[in-house]
Amino acid sequence: MTKWLLCLIAAGMLGGAVNAAPGDYLSPFAISYDAATKSLYVAEKTARQVARVLPGSGTVNKLYPLPSEPNGLALSKDGKTLFVTVEEPQGRIYVLNTDSGETVKQINAGHTPMSPKLSPDEKTLYVCNRFDNNVSIIDIASGKTVKKLAATREPVALTLTLDGKFLYVANHLPEGAANVDFMTSVIQIIDTQKKEVIKNIALPNGAIDLREMTISPDGKYVYVPSIFARFLVPTTQIERGWINTHALNIIDAKQQRLIHTVLLDDVDLGAANPWGVGCSPDHKYIVVVHSAPHELSIIDREKLFEKLSTVPENDGTHKFEELAENPMNDLSFLFGVRRRIHLKGIGPRNLVVLNDRAYITEYFSDSLGVVALSPDIKDNVRSVPLGPRKEMDSVRKGEMYFNDASLCYQQWQSCSTCHPDARMDAVNWDLLNDGIGNPKSTKSLLLAHMTPPAMVRGVRPDAETGVRAGIRYIQFAVPEEDKSVAIDDYLKSLKPIPSPHLVDGKLSAAAERGKKIFEEAGCSMCHEGAYYTDMEKYDVGTGADNEAGTEFDTPALIEVWRTAPYLYDGRAAAMTDIFRTFNPKDEHGNTSELTDEQLNDLIEYVMSL
């Protein structure tokens, strides 16, 4: 008898249970509750399926296989139709009949659709197209996209006001040049009748890496958790959230403005990498998932607002941010207001909150967390397996460690804090590997191991050394070799995501023209080979201030469409700026003679890699 079966019997869960495809990790991610059948739907990413789960027992009683990895769910009110977004460059939304399990329809969306939301009349579907940087408004009956609205940078989450009039869009990353002293992810508000973006709400300085948001059950507030990056200070220490803290941003939905930002950490314990957020239907609790230390914050909503009524509201100015008695700077503000609960599963992501319980997808342990919210209930934390647990290989372990803040002193951050999805956070950090006072734009770790040396100035011989240095000098912990090796294996396993600039997976006509210019302008002298780097260092005239004349490691160009801003200090917001503004003497390829059209073609090519 398999361990899994024993487990089921022990949990008394055999009635009507179905098994996951054997040998797969599940990676539960999105979750949705169906009041009609009192069941949960769980999108299991790497297993490429949705599971229907009974909340009481954790029994999986139906599986819905999909061709790609599902990341988002929206359920019709009668529980009969489930809309599932999947991670594809030419993204689709699968419309499933929950009874028959059949796909009744496929709706085309953009690159990596996420966070589907239904209008109250269930005629319209809204969806983020993460890598197209826009939001689709889709007419469900015809399956046609009515309009696409531009987002700022990687829209990942949507929430709709109760009347359906306003759609909030959470952008994952900040946009613009990074050698500045203000960087933030933006919340946009779309008027769904006008079908226009009517407002951009900048979060406080350093509020980045957005993942999820929710509207309160009374429709009055939008809650958005974020990382709160202190990117202006050198990373010399980590105590008291010196490098990164974590926050809940509270938007007043009527006034459509940010009114409060509250820190979620404790003075000596970070609450790293917040992800999902939800409210109990009675609005007694706000629950925030901390994905990296595997915790929940259960916030007593009444007490929180009582306490907030004694502090000034955010007036949107820098002056406000500097106020001493400001919950934005107060690591003990939530004392007596919030309970931190350690989960039994690993890598929590999203949640639904029913009256007295929260159900949390636990990505790395392939399980469902169940937490009773009332402080009076003992034994209040369970973790129920969602299928046979596959032994983790080194790659999966490495991904888990990379996303784990318990490897960091006082849980202040994980590697994924600055390298979300193993890429980059689009801000500059003054790490100490190359001295102090010369901030560098965070590097994506795709291909890091294949293209030594590592770091912008090549100060580490290879990425392996960089990984261990990261644990020692940024996590302030002692690297353990087996964990470092697993992180290496995970990073080596990363696959590039096809560029949104490709047309049916191929170079566009403009990119084909640009490919020739790439040769003619001398780009391929240094950006050569499969990864577009000769792995040598050059002074291409970009070094400024105390780095004037410095040679930098030639960066790989695969997936460079995703990693703006550019150059070592992130001063080039767009790729055009690299050549039109920061290459006056043609030291970085021969670009001064190119016409605007030729330069556009060249950039179209590079952005397609």
- The verdict on 188 binding ligand HEC (CB under 6 A) reads no
- The verdict on 60 binding ligand HEC (CB under 6 A) reads no
Judged by CB under 6 A, the stretch of 104-112, 213-221, 364-372, 415-423 that binds ligand HEC is 415-423
Q: Which is nearer to ligand HEC, 356 or 586 (CB)?
A: 586
Helices (H), 387-521: 394-402, 415-418, 463-473, 481-492, 509-520
- Which residue shows structure tokens 């590697």? 415
Site size toward ligand HEC (CB under 6 A) is: 52
Q: Which is nearer to ligand HEC, 286 or 467 (CB)?
A: 467
Contact string 562-601 vs ligand HEC (x = CB under 6 A)? -x--xxx------x--x---------xx-x----------
Judged by CB under 6 A, the stretch of 83-91, 102-110, 281-289, 436-444 that binds ligand HEC is 436-444
- Which residue shows structure tokens 């490709």? 502
- The verdict on 178 binding ligand HEC (CB under 6 A) reads no
Q: Which of 225, 241, 369, 470 binds ligand HEC (CB under 6 A)?
A: 470
- The verdict on 411 binding ligand HEC (CB under 6 A) reads no
In terms of Cβ atoms closer than 10 Å to its own Cβ (0-12, 13-18, 19+), residue 181 is exposed
Q: Which is nearer to ligand HEC, 203 or 526 (CB)?
A: 526
Q: Which is nearer to ligand HEC, 66 or 463 (CB)?
A: 463
- The verdict on 515 binding ligand HEC (CB under 6 A) reads no
The sheet carrying 70-75 orders its strands as: 70-75, 81-86, 92-97, 103-108
Q: How many CB atoms lie within 10 A of CB 596?
A: 9
Looking at residues 529 to 558 of the shown chain, list those that interact with ligand HEC (rule: CB under 6 A). 538, 540, 542, 552, 554-555, 557
- The verdict on 433 binding ligand HEC (CB under 6 A) reads yes
- The verdict on 413 binding ligand HEC (CB under 6 A) reads yes
3-state SS, residue 62: strand
Among the listed residues 573, 568, 603, the one whose alpha carbon sits nearest the alpha carbon of residue 439? 568
- The verdict on 525 binding ligand HEC (CB under 6 A) reads yes
Q: Which of 158, 183, 208, 431 binds ligand HEC (CB under 6 A)?
A: 431
Q: Is the separation of the CB atoms in 250 and 256 below 8 Å?
A: no
Structure tokens at 267: 């003075």
Contact string 232-271 vs ligand HEC (x = CB under 6 A)? ---x-------x----------------------------
* Sign of the dihedral defined by the CA atoms of residues 498, 499, 501, 507, in that order: negative
What DSSP element (H or E) covers 524? helix 523-526
Q: Specify the amino acid at residue 410.
A: Q
**Separation in Å, CA 96 to CA 10, 35, 49, 65, 74:** 32, 17, 12, 10, 10
Which letter does DSSP use for residue 459 in this model? -
- Cβ partners under 8 Å of residue 107, min gap 6: 92, 93, 95, 125, 138, 140, 143
- The verdict on 223 binding ligand HEC (CB under 6 A) reads no
Among the listed residues 217, 226, 277, the one whose alpha carbon sits nearest the alpha carbon of residue 249? 226
Q: Which of 173, 526, 558, 609 binds ligand HEC (CB under 6 A)?
A: 526
- The verdict on 417 binding ligand HEC (CB under 6 A) reads yes
Question: Angle at which helices 481-492 and 463-473 pack, to 10 degrees?
Answer: 130
Q: Which is nearer to ligand HEC, 216 or 600 (CB)?
A: 600
The sheet carrying 144-150 orders its strands as: 113-118, 124-129, 134-139, 144-150
Judged by CB under 6 A, the stretch of 43-51, 97-105, 348-356, 465-473 that binds ligand HEC is 465-473
Provide, rounded to whole angstroms, the least separation between the CB of residue 50 and ligand HEC.
Answer: 32
Structure tokens at 36: 């009609």
- The verdict on 440 binding ligand HEC (CB under 6 A) reads yes
- The verdict on 527 binding ligand HEC (CB under 6 A) reads yes
Q: Specify the amino acid at residue 311.
A: V
Q: Which is nearer to ligand HEC, 298 or 517 (CB)?
A: 517
- The verdict on 608 binding ligand HEC (CB under 6 A) reads no
Provide, rounded to whole angstroms, the least separation between the CB of residue 89 and ligand HEC.
Answer: 21
3-state SS, residue 146: strand
Q: Is the peptide bond before 22 cis (omega within 30 degrees of 0)?
A: no
Q: Which is nearer to ligand HEC, 219 or 522 (CB)?
A: 522
Q: Is the separation of the CB atoms in 562 and 501 below 8 Å?
A: no
Q: Which is nearer to ligand HEC, 70 or 555 (CB)?
A: 555
Q: Specify the amino acid at residue 250.
A: I
- The verdict on 415 binding ligand HEC (CB under 6 A) reads yes
Q: Which is nearer to ligand HEC, 349 or 588 (CB)?
A: 588
Looking at residues 74 to 93 of the shown chain, list those that interact with ligand HEC (rule: CB under 6 A). none
- The verdict on 487 binding ligand HEC (CB under 6 A) reads yes
**Separation in Å, CA 143 to CA 23, 105, 107, 108, 140:** 35, 8, 5, 7, 5
Structure tokens at 463: 């990425």
Residues that bind ligand HEC (CB under 6 A): 235, 243, 413, 415, 417-419, 429, 431, 433-434, 440, 442-443, 445, 448, 454-456, 463, 466-467, 470-471, 474-475, 487, 521-523, 525-527, 538, 540, 542, 552, 554-555, 557, 560, 563, 566-568, 575, 578, 588-589, 591, 602, 606
